[in-house]
Amino acid sequence: MSVDLAWQKLPVDLDPNRLPKHVAAIMDGNGRWAKNKGKPRIVGHQKGVDALKDLLRCCKDWGIPALTAYAFSTENWGRPLEEVQFLMTLFERVLRRELQEMMAENVKIRFVGNLTDLPKSLRQEIERSMQDTENNTGTQFTIATNYGGRQEIVQACRAIASKVERGYVEVEKIDESLFEEHLYTKGITHPDLLIRTSGEMRISNFLLWQIAYAEIYVTPTLWPDFDRAEFYKALTTYQQRERRFGKVKSTNNK
Ligand code: FPP
């Protein structure tokens, strides 16, 4: 994968002070991309990895500190067995292959989701990648794997209920910040921008709590074709939006 030098620096018409601090991506359309090219779906997933890698590097190049990608949902187990197995092997292989480069690029890797149900060899690679990159200070790269937003919220409720039951937490002390402490994404800022490729107008159980005030950008582009030019379009749209967080726009004539 090579990057057009023209896209290596932040495009001049983007305001570096108004970039999202955290971008989340629902990487949809790998299968359709492959089908359109008369190739098996797995080729789409392989190309999807290239697109993700370049987006991660682009975040570094353009000064966006955090990226979260939805790699595998709790619902994705319902896909044909060969595809699920292919994806698990792909994740493992990519982690093994890319870890050194992630270290060199100072990326901090974090996996979120119900990791206990993943194959053991993948879990080991996940553990290793998180441990090795723990003290890195560059891009925070979060990969949602066997992740479901509802499941995340339910497991947080259970963990808090258990603490209440054992007398460690008083019911009155349960507030948003305590709740957040029990989410998989503990310590990671909320996404400012959520990108979904392939045109579907859905959230698909992704970061339900965390995207409460994220700007949503949907593009018909299929994930393997989501390159820097597409990211530029997403960021341009983002910078044209007015984020009010439920308040009214502040004006001089109050
Ligand atoms: C959605 O396309 C894509 C996925 C379910 C898999 C995405 C995974 C990657 C790009 C690899 C990430 C790897 C690592 C290690 C982080 P789809 O299959 O739903 O496409 P379709 O809607 O066209 O069928």
Whether 252 is catalytic is no
Residue nearest ligand 1's atom 22 by CA? 29
Give CA–CA dist 139/110, Å, rounded: 11
The fold for domain 21-239 equals: Undecaprenyl pyrophosphate synthetase (3.40.1180)
Of the listed 76, 114, 136, 205, which one is catalytic?
Answer: 76
Ligand 1 pocket test target in 1, 28, 92 with most atoms within 8 Å of CB? 28
pLDDT of residue 99: 97
Host H or E run for residue 153: helix 149-165
0.75 cut: is pTM over it? yes
Q: Which amino acid is at 90?
A: L
Q: Tokens 């009214």 correspond to what residue?
A: 248
The pLDDT value given to residue 3: 75
Residue ranges of the domains in the chain?
21-239
Helix (H) or strand (E) holding 213: none
Give residue 28 CA to ligand 1 midpoint distance, Å.
6
**CA atoms of 132 and 17, how far apart (whole Å):** 31
CA 76/CA 151 separation, integer angstroms: 14
Nearest to 225 by CA among 40, 94, 48: 48
Cβ–Cβ < 8 Å for 25, 55: yes
Å from CA of 74 to ligand 1 middle: 13
Residue 169 CA to ligand 1 centre (angstroms): 39
Task: Per residue of the chain (254 residues), give pLDDT as tens.
Answer: 667 778 999 999 999 999 999 999 999 999 999 999 999 999 999 999 999 999 999 999 999 999 999 999 999 999 999 999 999 999 999 999 999 999 999 999 999 999 999 999 999 999 999 999 999 999 999 999 999 999 999 999 999 999 999 999 999 999 999 999 999 999 999 999 999 999 999 999 999 999 999 999 999 999 999 999 999 999 999 999 987 788 887 554 43
Whether 7 contacts 228, CB under 8 Å: yes
Q: Which two tokens stand for residue 2?
A: 């090579």
Pocket around ligand 1: residues whose beta carbon is below 6 Å from it?
Answer: 27-32, 45, 48-49, 52, 69, 71, 76, 91, 94-95, 143, 198
Q: Is the dihedral of CA 88, 25, 80, 205 positive or negative?
A: positive
The question of whether 135 is a catalytic residue gets the answer no
User: Closest ligand 1 atom, CA of 35?
Assistant: 23
The span from the CA of 54 to the CA of 84, in Å, is: 24
Q: What is the predicted pLDDT for the residue at 32?
A: 98
Task: Give me the helix-helix angle, 41-62 and 81-104, nearest 10°.
Answer: 30
Which of 45, 82, 86 best tests ligand 1's pocket when mutated (most atoms within 8 Å of CB)? 45
Please tell me the residue having the least CA distance from ligand 1 atom 10: 48
